[in-house]
Amino acid sequence: MDSSNAWADGLSLEQCQHWLSVLPSKRIAVIGDVMLDHYYLGSVSRISPEAPVPVVELERQTWRLGGAANVAHNLRMLGAHVVLCGVVGDDSSGEQLRVLAEQHGIEPSGIVTDPTRPTTIKTRIIGNNQQLLRLDHEQRRPISSEVLEQILAALEASSQLAAIIFEDYNKGVLHQRSIPLLVEWAQERSIPILVDPKLENFFAYRGATVFKPNQKEASHALGTPLESQDDVIRAGRTLLERLQARNVLITLGSRGMMLLDSSNRWWQIPSVARHVADVSGAGDTVIATVTAMMVAGAPILEAATIANIAAGVVCGEPGVVPITTAALLAELALHAQPPSTLSGVRSSRK
């Protein structure tokens, strides 16, 4: 194996700051399954006498953007302009999600109201900063052609899109009929496509600029375990070929990420998370940060490595939280000066 530290040697905080400074001039669309995350937060000091379960003494409750809406929130917190496309129900939760998006500066023009389905809500009960229970309220039925037409109309009305993220949570927005139409729309306009897939539509996104599954999704889709580095490299190359993708980025949890491109190169990017409180939403942060850095001019390896750092930041916080420019810059300052953790990036042209 030929390992190289060339990228780490070229990393500078000034370059990262430049890329972030470019983002306010970029507009990115996020298409997928929007959700409302509802948190009950409290403390636990005793077990219920009624059943062997903890008693949470409620201290507060919060609502946050989840799913594709969390990806949009991450992008907006990094400075990009964001058009969010998805579906909500004709209910108070759908209105609350739309209001939250607007409060965070996200354009909700592509959020379509469908009175035949509820807004997707994930309710988490947190005690002593640990998740104890999650309740899901959702409808997984594929969206109708009428809803799809409204999403396409919102995209048509959005000028100069720098990229489109497909954020698939298997809730019905992205399915076997909608994906080809949306991908074709983007490709006809030469708009880069970045995909965060789920199993049901895994191989539907042909021609993606970046295809970002996690280890479990890639293993299930290909029917093979991804235990060793060689396993992951073979899987990445298979995905590149089957999807005709330009880049495949496989997230590996505590092992970091594996990036492969269509020129037969690969890079192992080690994890930099120092403390893991909650991995919820880390994948959303990765796809958002990769996209943001790429549209700002960063090469794919730099974009992926910065996204890896961003994921490490949000994993240190309980619940689903977005990356922020300030938090990312603070963490980058620790890694952008050699010698750094990033010098562990390993590459090969095998």
Q: Give CA–CA dist 185/340, Å, rounded.
A: 42
| Phi/psi at 45 (5° precision) | -135, -5
Cβ–Cβ < 8 Å for 149, 181: no
> Helices 229-243 and 215-222, interaxial angle, to 10°?
70
Residue 136 is a catalytic residue? no
Quote the CA–CA distance of 31 and 296 in Å, as a whole number. Answer: 20
Structure tokens at 54: 């903890």
What element of type H or E holds 166?
A: strand 161-167
The contacts of residue 41 (CB under 8 Å, 6+ apart) are 58, 59, 60, 61, 62, 126
Give me the catalytic one of 37, 114, 261, 284.
284
Exposed e or buried b for every residue in 194-217, given b needs 16+ CB within 10 A?
A: bbbbbeebbebbeebbbbbbbbeb
The H or E element spanning position 46 is strand 34-47
> Residue 195: which of 100, 122, 290, 112 has the closest Cα?
290
> What is the 3-state composition of the chain as percent helix, strand, coil, each rounded to the nearest 5?
40, 25, 35
Residues with active-site annotation: 284
